[in-house]
Amino acid sequence: MLQTGARITGAGQVPPVEVRNLRKVYGDVVAVDGISFSLHPGSVTALLGGNGAGKTTTISMLMGLVAPTSGEVRVFGIDMVHNRHAALHRLNFESPYVDIPMRLTVRQNLEIFGQLYGVVDVPGRIREMAEELRISELLDRHYGKLSAGQKTRVSLAKSLLNEPDLLLLDEPTASLDPDTADWVRSVIEDYCRTHLATIVLASHNMAEVERLADRVIMLERGRIVADETPEALIRHFGRKNLEEVFLDIARRRIPETVRPLKIVD
């Protein structure tokens, strides 16, 4: 049964993510300042902005890890402030900046996370993920002994273990060599396509965003300053690529006609 207050979109579907007037204040610092957006099922949305723009805080509130000062976050119609546990089995998160227990083996880590996520056949799912993500030879090695690229593959396996309907990615290819980064992007693309999953991506790699995202939400000082497709954003700013658009926003060269753009359905 849908939680009271859930809104229906499309063919009877609740939005995977719905944010209304979301605000987070830490002391005198406003990290997120009254943002609102709703995501379509199966979409890939990039949250962009410079350091301190509010990307990580927004993702943390989407996961229910950080309580908003005001506003509302709903994931699959569920209030993430008061009932986040009802949604957690349908989402997951990956970031190279968040390590899993170093002293445990890869297999032990995945077994624990599989149990936490309520995966029915944990050993079978681990075998499947190990083969797909090429980590079979790493399963009995301690996570802390792995290279950065190996850790990324393991972290990605962890994030896909429960086959999430909503996948939150924070700089998923940071510090990776170009070949490994390209492979990780291909895995993400394939997962989104085959599972019709909704993805939220925070990244400073504009080429990566242009490749993966069908929508870009630009944040500046906790506010949305642009919300469009990558192509339309580039066109509106009159630039050659998304990196040039990013630099314009970071340097506060934002035409009034672009404040803010709206997503084109």
- For the stretch 77-122, pLDDT in tens is 999 999 999 999 999 999 888 889 999 999 999 999 999 999 999 9
User: 36: which 2 tokens?
Assistant: 């609102």
Phi-psi region of 217 (alpha: psi -120 to 50; beta: other; left: phi over 0): beta
Range of the domain at 156: 40-54+89-258
Adjacent-strand bridge partners of 209: none
Return the pLDDT at 250. Answer: 76
Adjacent-strand bridge partners of 100: none
Looking at the 3D structure of the chain, how many domains does it have?
A: 1
243: in domain: yes
What type of residue sits at position 81? Answer: V
Single pTM value for the model? 0.87
Residues in the chain: 265
Q: How confident is the model at residue 241 (pLDDT cuts 50, 70, 90)?
A: very high
If we measure between CA atoms, which residue out of 264, 206, 217, 200 comes closest to residue 239? 206
| Contact present, 193 and 184 (Cβ < 8 Å) | no
246: in domain: yes
CATH number assigned to the domain comprising residue 229 = 3.40.50.300
Q: What is the mean pLDDT of the chain?
A: 88
